[in-house]
Amino acid sequence: MKIIGLTGGIGSGKTTVAKLFKELGVPVYNSDLRAKKLMKNSKEIRTAVMDLLGKDSYVLERLNKKYIADKVFNNKELLQKLNEIVHPAVRNDFLRWVKSRKAAYVIQEAAILFENNSYSNFDKIILVKAPKQVRLERIIARDNGAKEEILARMENQWDDSKKMPLSDYIIENIDLDQTKLQVQQIHQQLTKIVA
């Protein structure tokens, strides 16, 4: 079984692309959702996060996402320390998940494969990209967030020009019909590689 990384900057449309692969029958592991679940359910992680960021990181045992985002997205050192708590747990969870799948290949969707040096864990990498302005508009529409907050989050991610040479496949996600076509082509290529 091949392990494929699916990545892209915030607002690039990773989740849309992941959904298209799921429709083709490919198992997809969403790292962000699993990280949130682990941060909520693991006492060990919860304690480490509160030690790092303070008791307000959780409200009634629920993750206080706004508080955490406000703390880490303008502080690279804190963000790095938070990632050092969460990423190893996500990696172990993913490896357990893979063992229970029966497929030619699986996809791990993760925003920061390159930034945290985990890209070497994958057989192939798919990069989803879109122009910065398009991404910004998508995030504002989706999250109703402030432009400054979104730009700060974008600053914590590598630019696409840095990711492209390290990626095996690049999906330009502007037009949904074109994106579907690109996903189908990549799926056919990956299926051939595995066969």
Query: Mean pLDDT over residues 116-145, rounded?
Result: 88
Number of domains in the chain: 1
Residue 171 — φ and ψ, nearest 5°?
A: -105, 120
The domain in which residue 139 lies consists of: 2-27+101-194
Mean pLDDT of the chain: 91
Q: Look at residue 147 and tell me if it is in a domain.
A: yes
Whether 74 shows a pLDDT value over 80: the answer reads no
Q: Look at residue 43 and tell me if it is in a domain.
A: no
Q: Counting every residue, how long is the chain? A: 195
Q: Look at residue 107 and tell me if it is in a domain.
A: yes
Q: Look at residue 88 and tell me if it is in a domain.
A: no
Q: Look at residue 160 and tell me if it is in a domain.
A: yes
Contact 40, 61 (CB under 8 A): yes
| pTM (2 d.p.) | 0.88
Partnered with residue 105 across adjacent β-strands are 2
CATH code for the domain of 153 = 3.40.50.300
* DSSP code per residue over 82-130: HHHHHHHHHHHHHHHHHHT--SSEEEEE-TTTTTTT-GGG-SEEEEEE-
Pairing of strands 105-109, 2-7: parallel
Query: Which of residues 91 and 146 earns the better pLDDT score?
Result: 91
